[in-house]
Amino acid sequence: MMGLFELNKVDSGARSGTLHTAHGDVPTPAFMPVATQGSVKAVDPADLREMGATLLLGNTYHLYLRPGVETIQHAGGLASFMGWNGPTLTDSGGFQGYSLEHLRQITHDGIIFKSHIDGTTHNFSPATVMSHQEGIGADIIMPIDVCAPGGSDRNSVIEAVETTTRWAELCQKSHTRSDQHLFGIVQGGVFPDLRSNSATQITSLEFPGYAIGGLSVGESKAEMYDACDVATSLLPIDRPRYLMGVGSPEDLVECVARGVDMFDCVLPTRIARNGALFVTEGRINIDTARFKTEDRPIEEKCDCYTCNTFSSAYVSHLFKAKELLAYRLATIHNLRFILRLMEELRKSIEVGEFESYRKEFHSHFVPPDERTRRAQKQRWLEAQRRRPDHIPL
């Protein structure tokens, strides 16, 4: 089978390449829209293909509970089941070990979950997680790991690193499908030496690709960027690098600059359903009074279906009227913004103009105030943990 990753160009540390999977090629840097339960909220596969998506992410924990691995396997695997028929990646459920704190117990041998659906108990061990993901049939799969919450003390992070390494070895031994690529996951919180230790341990296992986990969980942007720097400096040049759970435009640009190739995050779709839309200058709230009579599109230069077809006033009206179409149109716009950003980053790398693009991006894109952003993120995480039917939104 062809190797997973082909590195095409490096410019100022930023990389362009190609992932080769059984369901097609993926140009990198790439952003994965999140299809937690086999569906990207508010849009369908035709929308995703039109907006330029090339790789989707599903979640093993949620898919295992509903509809079940056997159902997906009977349909020919996740890509076929969801009508996408393109490359897919599944997270192992390790993040649910962090986000479902009130419904899980982390043991030496795995994570024991109490189902948020019916209260039944399920054991996610390295062996069972590999079995579930082999049945689900994604092209790229993840080992089960321990994601330490932001602000964790050093001893807790040390334990998370040690457990993640031990489980990675066991996952590697249990994995049997040659048409799937199992990545290793680097943990270590915001402690540089622990990040370094984790990267050294995980790369010694010779995975075909590597993920950087345990970030965007409450730390500052500076801490995230520093941890990313430490990890990427120790990861093999010829293997893909995946930063898990990061999707703010400014973070995508900065982490591509640090040599990351792959990203996923619910942020673009989640904030879209709340009326927050990405534009060249940052974010706007489409349901505010200023858009009530605005007959121009959300962004003049945007090539998405929403901007090509509807006015800002119409989209604003849909939100105020609580029409379901509002969520689809807003989601299409935000995802296309992010996917177009990745396309532009890739092009800038390939022509040797990445630093110029990076500088130009930061000259006009103004992200939310970091203190406000972190407070909002923390409130959202706490609200999600309190929901009895917790599913990442």
Integer Cα distance of 326 and 311 in angstroms: 12
**What is the maximum span of the chain, computed from C-alpha positions, in angstroms?**
61
35: tokens are 């299809």
Query: How far, in Å, are 69, 177, 391 from residue 65 at the CA level?
Result: 8, 22, 12
47 is catalytic: no
Tell me which residue of 254, 15, 347 sits closest to 7, measured CA to CA.
15
264 is catalytic: yes
Contacts 24+ apart (CB under 8 A), 276-284: 277/330, 277/333, 277/334, 277/337, 278/249, 278/333, 278/334, 278/337, 278/338, 279/337, 280/364, 280/365, 281/364, 281/365, 281/366, 282/365, 282/366, 282/367, 282/368, 283/367, 283/368
Identify the three-state secondary structure at position 256.
Answer: helix
Task: Give the H or E element holding residue 335.
Answer: helix 325-350
* Rg value, the chain, Cα: 20
Q: Which of 47, 91, 145, 287 is an active site residue?
A: 91
Q: Which of 47, 251, 261, 264 is an active site residue?
A: 264
Tell me which residue of 203, 206, 187 sits closest to 195, measured CA to CA.
187
DSSP 188-208: -TT-HHHHHHHHHHHHTT--S
Chain-centre distance for alpha carbon 166: 24
Q: Annotated catalytic sites, by residue? A: 91, 264
